[in-house]
A and B are shown apart, each in its own frame.
Chain A
């Protein structure tokens, strides 16, 4: 593929400028999703469900039909859309506050039903949009505006491992945890995203890709420091890899 061809904006991204801070992973992940939608040629039948959080505008960044769910309820909204129109491809895009706190029930049950939807789960260990409060994924000892002395297990409990919890559910067809801090990771993440969509397109089951992500703004670090902090701290707590893959080797 020629250089210019490879780096032109994916058709599935809209013209709208991203609202994300410099160094935030949301932007990279958006682009990867759009590339996958383009390559799978599903743009015309894709419906996106945006969350509440920094990516609340995500439905405007993709050139597909879309809506915004209430905080945490994207899997339920996506279930309603998918059940009403099974021919469409439906994906949710959710942060850790959205998916792992207020929306825990919705994600577990959608995954367990094997709902034919795809979820992109952005784990940045913090609430971005509301200004850096503790998320369920916040690391022990990590300072946030609501854990100013650091998260303590005897007060706030432990960081929740979403992929490890979901991998036990029979409805899950594809599940992986990844990051986008290096070019290799980016390539791998795109492959995972594709498989998660394949799980839906081939009626195999629920697909989720958890992406360890940066929030330079609320971590109080530069973009480069953030990447390093993620590598040094988050990867230890949240092991990377493919947790479930029932998609088969046709792809």
Chain B
């Protein structure tokens, strides 16, 4: 793959290749549809770059292996799909608690339970409001295209390192399985990756005090202090790391809000609606945490109506309502169980509303 040229790739492979170019040399995983191709890609590709691939015995083990590898300060990732991500929550909570940088990919499928293997967005609550125990946050990105998935994967490693926080790429089977032309950036020089020698577990070499990476302190006052420090960091992330796209919003009277593949689908809905004289636009949050509340909230001044579309019963909907803060009506349309709303049905619902 030449660095500046566009190449046709599959979604799962695009994310895997992007991770490797970002300097990730460690992958621990467990197969689950619809993301097994990403696991397989890493199994093939990592040995070619002197990296390490390991298929674990379970997702519980995966997330704890990630904890271990991340505690050495190296770039490490895993990918899974919904039931697998539920099992990983134990590790996610510990990783967040110990403030370790790493990247998770959840290619969401229909749930709850075993559900099915079709695309869904019903893990939004788990991703953005916690999922494991305790008061913690992950940075969560929802890409709409393969190009964006590649860019966000690389960004994910960078912000994970910068803030010592786990980052989650929240996508779905639709993006995972599609093929699109993608331009990859060049390989990062591993020697230029951030230096974690001030905290990582690398062995003291008898030259420094031992490093201790943990998520716990039995003294409540000390634990609270740790938690407060972490939340101060979260505040900085909220200030600096919000990402979103605004599409045809300048004169919009209806603001469609959707993320990931749904965000992409509703852009074409807006195009058709405008041909029919409806002034609509799309607000697409890219970082789902931190969620762009203020940025979306500003549209309450000129828009008459907000319309959220999701592949769920309405989870991001709650964040949209918080952003709108009761100032304007918020309508919702969603399909679940792995059914992807068509542009036609979203348009029909939109025309009913206006």
Q: Do residues A84 and B69 form an inter-chain contact, with CB atoms below 8 A?
A: yes
* A70 at the binding interface (Cβ < 8 Å): yes
Can you list, as one digit per residue, whether each of A84-113 has a CB less than 8 Å from chain B (1) or not (0)? 110111000000000000000110110000
How far, in whole Å, are A89 and B58 apart by their CA atoms in the complex?
A: 24
How far, in whole Å, are A213 and B94 apart by their CA atoms in the complex?
A: 29
Report chain A residues within 8 Å CB of B206: 43-44
With contact pairs A65-B203, A76-B68, A83-B26 given, residues A109 and B210 touching in the complex (Cβ less than 8 Å) = no
Report chain B residues within 8 Å CB of A201: none
* A45 at the binding interface (Cβ < 8 Å): yes
The interface size of chain B toward A, counting residues with CB under 8 Å, comes to: 39
Residue of A nearest to B215 (CB): A68
The interface size of chain A toward B, counting residues with CB under 8 Å, comes to: 37
* B189 at the binding interface (Cβ < 8 Å): no
Find A80's partner among B60, B64, B202, B205 (CB 8 Å cutoff): B64
Q: Do residues A64 and B214 form an inter-chain contact, with CB atoms below 8 A?
A: no
Can you list, as one digit per residue, whether each of A135-161 has a CB less than 8 Å from chain B (1) or not (0)? 000000000000000000000000000
Q: Do residues A76 and B72 form an inter-chain contact, with CB atoms below 8 A?
A: no
Q: Do residues B90 and A64 form an inter-chain contact, with CB atoms below 8 A?
A: no
Q: How many A-B residue pairs have CB under 8 A?
A: 135
Report chain B residues within 8 Å CB of A62: 210
* A69 at the binding interface (Cβ < 8 Å): yes
Report chain B residues within 8 Å CB of A89: 203
* A35 at the binding interface (Cβ < 8 Å): no
Report chain B residues within 8 Å CB of A85: 72, 74, 202-203
* B125 at the binding interface (Cβ < 8 Å): no
* A217 at the binding interface (Cβ < 8 Å): no
Report chain B residues within 8 Å CB of A56: 216
Report chain A residues within 8 Å CB of B98: 67
With contact pairs A80-B68, A80-B70, A85-B72 given, residues A64 and B203 touching in the complex (Cβ less than 8 Å) = yes
How far, in whole Å, are A84 and B65 apart by their CA atoms in the complex?
A: 10
* A53 at the binding interface (Cβ < 8 Å): no
Q: Do residues B205 and A44 form an inter-chain contact, with CB atoms below 8 A?
A: yes
Find B202's partner among A68, A79, A88, A105 (CB 8 Å cutoff): A88
Report chain A residues within 8 Å CB of B90: 70, 73
* A210 at the binding interface (Cβ < 8 Å): no
Q: Do residues A84 and B68 form an inter-chain contact, with CB atoms below 8 A?
A: yes
Q: Do residues B212 and A60 form an inter-chain contact, with CB atoms below 8 A?
A: yes
How far, in whole Å, are A60 and B74 apart by their CA atoms in the complex?
A: 23
* B83 at the binding interface (Cβ < 8 Å): no
Q: Do residues A65 and B212 form an inter-chain contact, with CB atoms below 8 A?
A: yes
With contact pairs A44-B204, A45-B205, A77-B68 given, residues A66 and B74 touching in the complex (Cβ less than 8 Å) = no
With contact pairs A59-B214, A83-B69 given, residues A73 and B64 touching in the complex (Cβ less than 8 Å) = yes
* A181 at the binding interface (Cβ < 8 Å): no
Q: Among residues 60 to 85 in chain B, which have CB atoms less than 8 Å away from a CB atom of chain A?
A: 60-62, 64-72, 74, 76
Question: Which 6 A-B residue pairings sit nearest by Cβ, starting from the closest?
Answer: A80-B68, A76-B64, A80-B65, A80-B69, A45-B203, A77-B68
A–B Cβ pairs within 8 angstroms, 7 of them: A43-B206, A80-B66, A80-B76, A88-B72, A88-B202, A106-B64, A108-B57
